[in-house]
């Protein structure tokens, strides 16, 4: 492009101002890329159950209300259900209250039938099954606490008067969940029977065909509709989404904060770009005098401002990608963000937003420059 | 010599807030092709406005401006810009080179608006800078040049596209006597050897002496009763 040199030279004519504008845009796009990545991470988490032939049965009143253990057999009797397992949220921490992670009491013998997406070496699974105080843990927890198989760890529950000391018998592998802690429901039930009675938080049913999930969930809920403990059955994806919704409307919050941050950068960049255009009034008048049309001036200035926006945005976005790729966010967030990173979709979103920022911020000064009367501009020159 | 520029009964009124400020009041001038015309007059006399009208960067409130047979006063903004790129070379008092571009790139600027290939543009720039005597300063930035050299580069930029007419407003106004002398020599040479039609606004009688003709303006009208004014105004009226 024959005007490339002129655009590039103008872009860097005031190096300090360009540098500061780039730093500002990079910082804000780093922030926005991080927020959008957290949102994307939540989305991935809520979609992690998709494709699994698993249904979650919880109380129709709320997730906090337990269901009687007797429901298990009735669920199993429904046609198409392969197996059913109990799962109880334990809500414990390790050593310190801020050492929090997901921990559950589950039917230990259902790991291969209901949670068969969790891969556990055969010898480790056998050791876990054989030990009532055994536990299976995610690789991230092992890495975080330096645990190894055979270690005994004590969990302190924030819900139940039961602080079990459990032996790590196995480390599972899973495509997304890398930081959960599972131990025997029998052991939990025996220790908390007086408090919990014959109840459990949720049942998880594996069904034979995914096409039957809708029918089966309807049948389960119909079966208990008029009982003292009505149920609400979800697919695993729906359950995860419901769980994410419980955190609050994070998506709306993060999106709002991101938009505010982008608007802020638009305003700040607009000030900078207006200054850049204003100090070039006479030059623009000279360019117009020698034959540069309004359209050419407008195009040149918009390309300059959009390039600045895109460069700043790219710096921040790829900076965020590099930083998040090099630090262990799972460890920093104590397992809250698993598999965190800036994905391609977020990168593209940020780059498009950066182009829009360049257009919005540079649009007005560019239009004003293009519309500048040659005579008015040259009045300072002639 | 045939008339290149014809100004016919031109009026120009500027709006300043709610006031009308008349600047030119029925000026008629004819400038022959190949002329070197100096426009003189006190500040506010309308000489720069007349130059702007001839150069196509302003339009008259009333009257006609005809350059090389075309009534440019009837052109719209876009057509005027295209016309200026092809037909007018500008020389400013303060040189007004683009500070981020070197001498070569400044001279190349108007050529970027043409369909010339890179090699052809380079040839034009070399030729223009050679004419003004600065073939060895191509890679110098404006800040690395003296005032006289900057004005030479500005003249090279003005002639790079081989325009029909050169307009200059106080081209020596910011220069020392020696540099001013050299610039006037250069303008005379462009007029005499390259047959460039030059219209120059100046306060300096020494500069005006270098022109073939001199016109005086005062309060928006031609006031000189000398040969030049009578002849040129008469030509325009005919």
- A14: phi then psi, degrees, rounded to nearest 5: -115, 90
Residues of B with CB under 8 A from a CB of A: 48, 51-52, 55, 57-58, 77-78, 81-82, 84-86, 88, 90, 92-94, 96, 98-101, 105, 109-110, 112-113, 118, 157, 169-170, 201
User: Are A289 and A346 in contact, with CB atoms under 8 Å apart?
Assistant: no
Average pLDDT over residues A224-228: 92
User: Could you tell me which chain A residue has the CA closest to the CA of B82?
Assistant: A291
What is the distance of C-alpha B219 from the center of its chain?
A: 21
Please give the DSSP secondary-structure letter assigned to residue A32.
H
Q: Please, what is the average pLDDT of chain A? A: 89
Question: What domains, with CATH codes, occur in chain B?
Answer: 3-237 (3.40.50.300)
Q: How far apart are CA A304 and CA A8, in angstroms?
A: 7
Option in A3, A291, A375 nearest B85 (CB): A291
User: What whole-number percentage of chain A has pLDDT above 90?
Assistant: 59
Option in B51, B93, B112 nearest A3 (CB): B112
CB-based burial of residue A327 (10 Å sphere; 0-12 exposed, 13-18 middle, 19+ buried)?
Answer: exposed
Please give the DSSP secondary-structure letter assigned to residue A133.
T
Given a cut of 70, whether residue A15 has pLDDT beyond it is yes
Binned at pLDDT 50, 70 and 90, residue A341 comes out as: confident
Given a cut of 50, whether residue A359 has pLDDT beyond it is yes
Can you tell me which residue has the tokens 């607009």? A270
Q: How far apart are CA A297 and CA A285, in angstroms?
A: 10
User: Could you tell me which chain B residue has the CA closest to the CA of A378?
Assistant: B92
Binned at pLDDT 50, 70 and 90, residue A334 comes out as: low
Binned at pLDDT 50, 70 and 90, residue B48 comes out as: very high
Q: Which pLDDT value is given to residue B128?
A: 95
**A286/B contact by beta carbon, under 8 A:** yes
Given a cut of 90, whether residue A179 has pLDDT beyond it is no
Choose the weakest-confidence range: A18-32, A48-62, B101-115. Answer: A48-62
B92 and A382: CB-CB below 8 Å? yes
Given a cut of 80, whether residue B105 has pLDDT beyond it is yes
B90 and A10: CB-CB below 8 Å? no
| pLDDT tens, position by position, A191-219 | 998 888 889 999 999 999 888 988 999 99
CB-based burial of residue A198 (10 Å sphere; 0-12 exposed, 13-18 middle, 19+ buried)?
Answer: exposed
Given a cut of 70, whether residue B238 has pLDDT beyond it is no
Binned at pLDDT 50, 70 and 90, residue A47 comes out as: low
- The CA angle A199-A205-A207, to the nearest 5 degrees, is 165
User: Are A45 and A174 in contact, with CB atoms under 8 Å apart?
Assistant: no
Given a cut of 90, whether residue B232 has pLDDT beyond it is no
Q: How far apart are CA A368 and CA B9, in angstroms?
A: 33
| pLDDT tens, position by position, A287-322 | 999 999 999 999 999 999 999 999 999 999 999 999
B170 and A382: CB-CB below 8 Å? yes
E strands, chain A, are 54-59, 67-68, 81-89, 92-94, 102-106, 134-137, 152-157, 165-171, 180-184, 199-200, 202-207, 231-235
On chain B, the residues whose CB falls within 8 A of the CB of A281 are none
Q: How far apart are CA A230 and CA B60, in angstroms?
A: 88
Given a cut of 70, whether residue B226 has pLDDT beyond it is no
Q: How far apart are CA B210 and CA B36, in angstroms?
A: 8
User: Could you tell me which chain B residue has the CA closest to the CA of A2?
Assistant: B112
Given a cut of 90, whether residue A100 has pLDDT beyond it is no
**What is the least distance, in Å, from the CA of A21 to any CA of chain B?**
19
Q: Which pLDDT value is given to residue B212?
A: 94
Between the CA of residue A329 and those of A38, A206, A247, what are the distances in Å?
Answer: 10, 32, 19
Average pLDDT over residues B125-138: 94
Option in B51, B84, B100 nearest A291 (CB): B84
Closest CA to A55 of A238, A229, A194: A238
Q: Which pLDDT value is given to residue A381?
A: 44
Q: Which pLDDT value is given to residue B76?
A: 92
A283 and B169: CB-CB below 8 Å? no
Given a cut of 80, whether residue A126 has pLDDT beyond it is yes
Q: How far apart are CA A22 and CA A309, in angstroms?
A: 8
A282 and B96: CB-CB below 8 Å? yes
**A379/B contact by beta carbon, under 8 A:** no
User: Could you tell me which chain A residue has the CA closest to the CA of B158?
Assistant: A290
Q: Which pLDDT value is given to residue A347?
A: 96
**What is the least distance, in Å, from the CA of A46 to any CA of chain B?**
54
Choose the weakest-confidence range: A44-48, A170-174, B80-84, B163-167. Answer: A44-48
Q: How far apart are CA A165 and CA A143, in angstroms?
A: 19
User: Are B132 and B196 in contact, with CB atoms under 8 Å apart?
Assistant: no
Binned at pLDDT 50, 70 and 90, residue B18 comes out as: confident
Please give the DSSP secondary-structure letter assigned to residue A181.
E
**pLDDT higher at B24 or A248:** B24
Q: Which of A36-45, A83-92, A276-285 has the highest mean pLDDT?
A: A83-92
Q: Which pLDDT value is given to residue A382?
A: 40
Q: Please, what is the average pLDDT of chain B? A: 91
All residues at 6 or more sequence positions from A124 whose CB lies less than 8 Å from its CB, including other chains? A136, A149, A169, A170, A171
A283 and B170: CB-CB below 8 Å? no
Which of B15, B45, B113, B153 is the best residue to mutate to test the A interface, defined by the most A CB atoms within 10 Å of its own CB? B113
Q: How far apart are CA B40 and CA B216, in angstroms?
A: 5
Q: Which pLDDT value is given to residue A253?
A: 83
**What is the least distance, in Å, from the CA of B48 to any CA of chain A?**
8
Q: Which pLDDT value is given to residue A336?
A: 67
Tell me the sheet residues that pair with A94: A155
Binned at pLDDT 50, 70 and 90, residue B225 comes out as: very low
Binned at pLDDT 50, 70 and 90, residue A134 comes out as: very high
Q: How far apart are CA B184 and CA A71, in angstroms?
A: 105
**A375/B contact by beta carbon, under 8 A:** yes
């Amino acid at each position: 492009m024959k005007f490339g040199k002129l655009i590039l030279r103008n872009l860097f004519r005031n190096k300090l101002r360009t540098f500061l504008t780039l730093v500002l845009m990079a910082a804000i796009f780093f922030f926005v890329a991080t927020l959008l990545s957290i949102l994307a991470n939540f989305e991935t988490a809520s979609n992690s159950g998709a494709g699994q032939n698993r249904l979650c049965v919880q109380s129709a009143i709320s997730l906090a209300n337990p269901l009687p253990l007797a429901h298990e057999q009735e669920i199993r009797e429904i046609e198409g259900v392969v197996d059913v397992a109990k799962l109880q949220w334990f809500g414990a921490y390790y050593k310190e209250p801020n050492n929090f992670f997901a921990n559950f009491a589950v039917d230990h013998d259902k790991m291969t039938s209901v949670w068969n997406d969790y891969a556990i070496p055969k010898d480790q699974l056998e050791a876990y099954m054989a030990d009532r105080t055994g536990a299976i843990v995610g690789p991230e927890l092992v890495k975080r606490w330096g645990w190894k198989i055979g270690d005994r760890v004590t969990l302190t529950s924030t819900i139940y008067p039961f602080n079990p000391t459990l032996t790590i018998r196995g480390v599972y592998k899973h495509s997304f969940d890398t930081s959960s802690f599972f131990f025997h429901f029998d052991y939990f039930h025996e220790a908390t029977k007086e408090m919990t009675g014959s109840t459990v938080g949720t049942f998880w049913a594996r069904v034979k065909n995914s096409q039957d999930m809708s029918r089966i969930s309807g049948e389960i809920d119909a079966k208990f509709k008029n009982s003292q403990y009505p149920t609400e059955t979800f697919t695993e994806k729906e359950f995860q989404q419901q769980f994410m919704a419980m955190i609050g409307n994070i998506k709306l919050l993060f999106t709002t904060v991101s938009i505010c941050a982008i608007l802020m950068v638009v305003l700040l960049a607009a000030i900078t770009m207006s200054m850049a255009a204003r100090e070039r009034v006479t030059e623009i008048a000279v360019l117009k005098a020698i034959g540069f049309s309004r359209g050419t001036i407008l195009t040149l200035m918009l390309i300059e401002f959009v390039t600045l926006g895109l460069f700043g945005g790219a710096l921040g976005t790829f900076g965020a990608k590099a930083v998040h790729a090099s630090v262990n966010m799972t460890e920093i967030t104590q397992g809250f963000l698993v598999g965190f990173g800036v994905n391609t979709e977020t990168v593209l979103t940020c780059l498009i937003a950066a182009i829009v920022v360049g257009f919005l911020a540079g649009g007005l000064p560019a239009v004003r420059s293009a519309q500048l009367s040659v005579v008015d501009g040259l009045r300072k020159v002639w | 010599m045939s008339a290149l520029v014809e100004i016919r009964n031109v009026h120009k009124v500027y709006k300043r807030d709610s006031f009308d400020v008349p600047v030119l009041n029925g000026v008629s001038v004819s400038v022959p092709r190949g002329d070197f015309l100096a426009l003189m007059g006190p500040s506010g006399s309308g000489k720069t406005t007349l130059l702007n009208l001839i150069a196509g960067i302003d339009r008259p409130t009333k009257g006609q401006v005809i350059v090389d047979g075309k009534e440019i006063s009837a052109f719209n903004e876009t057509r005027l810009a295209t016309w200026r790129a092809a037909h007018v070379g500008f020389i400013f008092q303060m040189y007004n080179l683009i500070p981020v571009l070197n001498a070569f790139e400044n001279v190349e600027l108007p050529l970027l608006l043409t369909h010339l290939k890179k090699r052809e543009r380079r040839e034009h720039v070399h030729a223009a800078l050679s004419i003004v005597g600065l073939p060895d300063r191509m890679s110098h930035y404006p800040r690395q040049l003296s005032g006289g050299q900057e004005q030479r580069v500005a003249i090279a930029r003005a002639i790079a596209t081989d325009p029909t007419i050169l307009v200059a407003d106080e081209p020596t106004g910011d220069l020392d006597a020696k540099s001013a002398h050299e610039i006037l020599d250069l303008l005379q040479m462009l007029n005499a050897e390259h047959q460039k039609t030059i219209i120059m606004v100046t306060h300096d009688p020494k500069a005006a002496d270098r022109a073939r003709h001199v016109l005086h303006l005062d309060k928006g009208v031609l006031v000189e009763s000398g040969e030049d004014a009578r002849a040129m105004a008469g030509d325009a009226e005919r």
